[in-house]
Structure 1
Amino acid sequence: MTHPDTLAVDFGTSNSAAALLHDGAIVRIDVEPGEATLPTAVFFPADGGEMQIGSQAAQSLIEGEEGRYMRALKSILGVPLVHETRLISGRRRAVTDVITAFLTVLRTKAETQTGRSITRALSGRPVRFHSDHPERDTQAEKDLRGCYTAAGFTHVDFLAEPEAAAISCQAMGAADGLGLIVDIGGGTSDFSVFRNGASGPDILASHGIRLGGTDFDHAVSMAHAMPVLGLGGQLRRTMGAGLLPVPRAPYVELSTWAKIPFLYTQDTRRMVADMVRHAVDRPAMERFAEVLELELGHELAFAVERGKIAANNGEGSAAIDMGALQRGLKIALAVDDLNRDLAPTRTELRAAMAETLTQAGISGIDVGRIILVGGSSLMGFIADEAQAICPQAEVLRSNAFTAVVDGLALATA
C-alpha cells in the first residue's frame, strides 16, 4: 500500500500507538503528552462529561471519580458481546461504539499534530484474534474494520503484528539469518519466523494463539485474589442438609479485564447477596459483595497486575495489595507462586513457538535471533521458553511497545 497520509495504528489489548511515515522517517503521534503509547482504556464520567482515554482514564478511576472504566476492549471483538449495548454515562453503548470513539481520538490527534487530513489506516492485527475459531477470527476483523470506518477512515488495511515487528527489526539493522519474532501482547501471542531480504523480511511462517498478559493476570487473580472473595468456599443449602460449592462463573468474569464492567448488574448483585446469606465463610463473601457494590473490580485487577510485575521482577515484598477493599489486606506473591500459576500458560506458549518453526520448515537450532516484542514479553519466563526452543539464538529485546507501530508505518511506504 502506498499513500502519504496513511495512519499506522497498533490498536492493542493493553496499549495502543499510532504513527505516520514522512520522507521515509517514522513520525510517532504523541497520543499522550510526550508519549508515543497510551493504555487502551476509557473512562466515561457518570455526569455525562467527555470520554477520557489512556492514563487520564486510569487516573479518574484511581481517584474515585464516579463513572465507568473499560479496558481490554479488543478482547471481545468477534463475539456477540461486542455488539450488546449497556447503559454507560446516560447512553446505551456497545463496545464497538467505545472502540470507535477511541480510534476517533487517535485520528484526531494525528490530524492535529500533522495538519493533514487522515482517512486511511494500516492497522495491526493478531495472527489470530481467536484460537481454533476461524469464524470468530473473520468476524473480529470485520468488527474492527467497522469501527475504523465509523471513526472516519475510508480505507483500512490490516497487517499481522509480528510481521510488522519483523519489518521494524530489519530497519534497525538486524543481522542476516533466521529470526523469530515473539510478540506477547495483552490478549494474544503472535510469532513469525523471518529471514532478512534485500526488499524486506521474508516471512517464512506466522502463527498465533489467543493468550496474553490479561490471561496471566486472570490466572494469578483466580489463584490468589478470588479465594479471598470466597472462591473455593461452600454455601449452605436453602433447604436440607449438605453444602454446595461456591459457583466459579462470577469470579471468572471478575478476574477478566474485558468482562468486569458487565458484572455490575442488579441480577449479579442479588445473586451475590444470596450467596452472602448462605456462605460458610461469610466475611469472604461479604468482600465479594462489596467489590460489586462499590465497583472495585478494576482496582482489584490493577492490584493483581502490579503484584504480578513485582513478583516477575524478583521483589521480595511482592504482594497483591487489596487495601482498596479492606485496609491492610495484602496477599503475598512470590516468583515461585507466579511460575506455578503460569505453568499451563508456559506450556501453551512453547507449543505455539514450536508450531511456528514447524510451519516454517526449520529447526530451532537454526534460529539466530529471538526478538521479544509486546509489553507482556517482559515476563521472565517468555525468554526462557523461547530459548528452550531455539537454544543457539541470541535474545534481543526490541522496543517492546513501539516495534509493531514502527513496522506498520514503514509498511505504508
Structure 2
Amino acid sequence: MANACGVDFGTSNSTVGWVRPGEAPMLPLEDGKVTLPSVVFFNVDDDEVSYGRAALAEYLAGYEGRLMRSMKSLLGTSLMEGQTEVGGRALPFKMLLSQFIGELKHRAETAAGRKFESVVLGRPVHFIDDNAAADQTAEDTLAGIARSVGFRNIAFQYEPIAAAFDYESQIDHEELVLIADIGGGTSDFSLVRLSPERARHVERLGDILATGGVHIGGTDFDKYLSLTSVMPLLGYGSQLQGGAEIPSSYYFNLATWHTINQAYTKKMQAQLGELVRDAREQDKLLRLQNLIEDRAGHWLAIQVEEGKIGLSDAETVQLNLDRLHPPLTLDLQRALFDQAIGHLVGSIEQTVNQLLADAGLRAEQIDTVFFTGGSSGVKLLRERIAALVPGARKVEGDLFGSIGAGLALDAVRKFG
C-alpha cells in the first residue's frame, strides 16, 4: 500500500486517491461516494458545521446559517486575507479553507484506516492568469493550509498531468495525448507522451511537451447562464424612473458562487430598498428583494447549475423556481446558453491553440483527446475543443475521479 495520498481540492468537488493492491484508488468520502462537494454550511440554529451534500441539504432545508462554496476561487486573490461573518463572528477565509481540507483529510483517513502525513496536491496550471506572483502566493497558501491540518510532506502536481497519469494506466501503447481538464474554476490542458514503458519512470518532465490553462470553468458558465436567462426575471437590465439602469452589482454577486453572500449585507439591502421604490419594473425588483431577504441566492445558483448540466443532453431544460415570489417556471435554451458562453469558449480555444504552438505540434499529430473534469460535459465546449484536433480519438475519463486517481499514482512515485 502507498505511504501517501493524492488530494484533488476542487472548486466544485474534491476527491482523495490512495493506491493499494487490487482496489480502485478513490476513497469514499460521503455516504459511499468518492466525491465530497466543496461546500461548507455553518448551521446557526444547531451551532454545527456540515460539509458536502449534507451541507447543501441543510441549507436547502431552510436552516439559518452561512453556506460557502467555490472556496478554491479565493486562492491567490485579495479576498483570501479577508473574512466573512458567521453567526455574528468573524471567520477568516484562510481558516474556512483549513476547516474544509482538514475535514477532507479526516474522511480520507477514516476510509483508509490509517493516517496520511505525505500528500501530492493537485493544482491548476494557473490559479491566477497572467500574474506569477499571485499564482505562487496561491500555491504557498494552499501548502500552508495543508501543513496546518497535519500533512508534513507536501508536493504539487498540475491537475491535467495527474489526469494524464490516470489515462496512461489504461493504455497499452504510446500515444501523444491532449488532456482537457475542465473543472469548476479553471480549464487546464497538457500535451503529454504516454505509454506503459514511460509510466515506470519517476521523472516525467521530458514527456510533458506543454501545459497551459485559463481561469475559466464551470462556475463561469453558471454565471453567464444566470445573467442571460435568470437574472432578467429579477430586474437585471431594467431601468429606474429617470432612465438609469439598475446597478448590475446585485446580479453579478448573485450569479457568482463565491460572492453570493455579499448580496446579503445590510448596506446592499438598504440600497436595494431605495431602488425598488424608483424602479420602472417594480415587480422584478421586489422579486429580487424577496430573494435576498430569504437568503435564497445559493438555492438559485444550484437551480442554474442543474439547468446547465441538463443542457449537456437536452436542447431545453425547465427550471422550477418555486422559491421566487411569485413562483415561476423558466425554459432554459441551449442555444441561448451557447451564445452566453461563446466568449469564454473562445478564450479556451485560444489557450489550446497556444498550447499546440508552444509544443511545436500540428493538430494532426495528436492521437487522443482525453476529457476530464465535471464541466467537460458542456456540449459546445467539447465540440469546439474536439474540432481543433479533428483526427484525434475522443476519450472521456472519470469526470470527477481521474485527477484524484492520477495524483495517487504520482504520490507513489514521489513518496513510495
Indicate the TM-score class for this superposition, using the shorter chain for normalisation. Answer: over 0.9
For 1:392, give the aligned amino acid.
Answer: G
Match of 1:321, SS? strand
Q: Once the 2 structures are TM-superposed, how far is the Cα of residue 90 of structure 1 from its aligned partner? A: 4.4
Which amino acid letter does the alignment assign opposite residue 232 of structure 1?
G
How far has the Cα of 1:24 moved from its partner? 8.3
Query: Higher mean Cα deviation, 256-265 or 389-398?
Result: 256-265
Decide which of 9, 12, 25 is 2:10's aligned counterpart: 12
**Displacement after TM superposition at 1:120 (Å):** 2.0
Match of 1:369 in 2: 368
Hey, what's the Cα distance between the residues in 2 that align with 1:320 and 1:226?
13
Runs of 5+ in structure 2 lacking a partner?
none
Which residue of structure 2 aligns with residue 332 of structure 1? 331
Superposed counterparts of 1:28-107, under 5 Å = 28-47=26-45, 49-107=47-105
* CA shift digits 1:233-286 (9 cap, x unpaired): 1113xxxxx321111122111100111123211011111111111111111111
* Maintained 8 Å contact 2:315/2:335: no
1:391 is matched with 390
Cα 1:82/1:48, change in 2 over 3 Å = farther
Provide the rounded CA distance (Å) in 2 between the counterparts of 1:325 and 1:135: 43
Amino acid at match of 2:18: L
- What is residue 167 of structure 1 aligned with on the other side? 165
> d(CA) in 2 for partners of 1:175 and 1:271?
63
Query: Cα distance 1:280–1:327, how it changes in 2: closer, same or farther (>3 A)?
Result: closer
Shift, 1:411, TM fit: 0.5
Q: Give the secondary structure class of the aligned counterpart of 1:141.
A: helix
Q: Partner letter of residue 264 of structure 1? A: Y
For residues 359-400 of structure 1, give each alpha carbon's deviation from its aligned partner in whole angstroms, at most 9, with x where no partner exists: 111011111100000000011122211221101011100111
Moved more, 380-389 or 271-280: 380-389
Unaligned runs of 5+ in 1: 237-241
- Counterpart of 1:210? 215
Measured against aligned partners, the alpha-carbon deviations of 1:289-323 in whole angstroms (never above 9, x if no partner) come to 1121110101110111122222221154x133322
Which segment is superposed worse, 19-28 or 191-200? Answer: 19-28
Q: What is the TM-score of this pair, normalised by structure 2? A: 0.93
Structure 2: how far apart are the matches of 1:91 and 1:121?
Answer: 32
CA deviation vs aligned residue, 1:149-208 (integer Å, no higher than 9, x gap):
222222221100000000110011264221100000000000000111423361111100
Deviation sequence 1:43-67 (CA, Å, 0-9, x none): 1101353211111011111211111
1:367 maps to a residue whose letter is I
Match of 1:116 in 2: 114
* Cα distance, 1:328–1:294 mapped onto 2, change above 3 Å: closer
The answer (yes or no) to whether the contact 1:20–1:27 under 8 Å persists in 2 is yes
Runs of 4+ deviating beyond 4 Å = 23-26
Q: Residue in 2 aligned with 1:406?
A: 405
Displacement after TM superposition at 1:28 (Å)? 2.0
Q: Which residue in 2 is equivalent to 1:314? A: 314
1:267 counterpart residue number: 267
- SS of aligned partner of 1:245: coil
Higher mean displacement: 324-333 or 160-169: 324-333
For residues 306 and 23 of structure 2, the distance between their equivalents in structure 1, rounded to whole angstroms, comes to 36
TM-score by length of structure 1 reads: 0.94
Aligned residues: 405
CA RMSD of aligned residues (A): 1.7
CA distance in 2, matches of 1:89, 1:29: 33
Which residue type is aligned with residue 156 of structure 2?
Answer: F
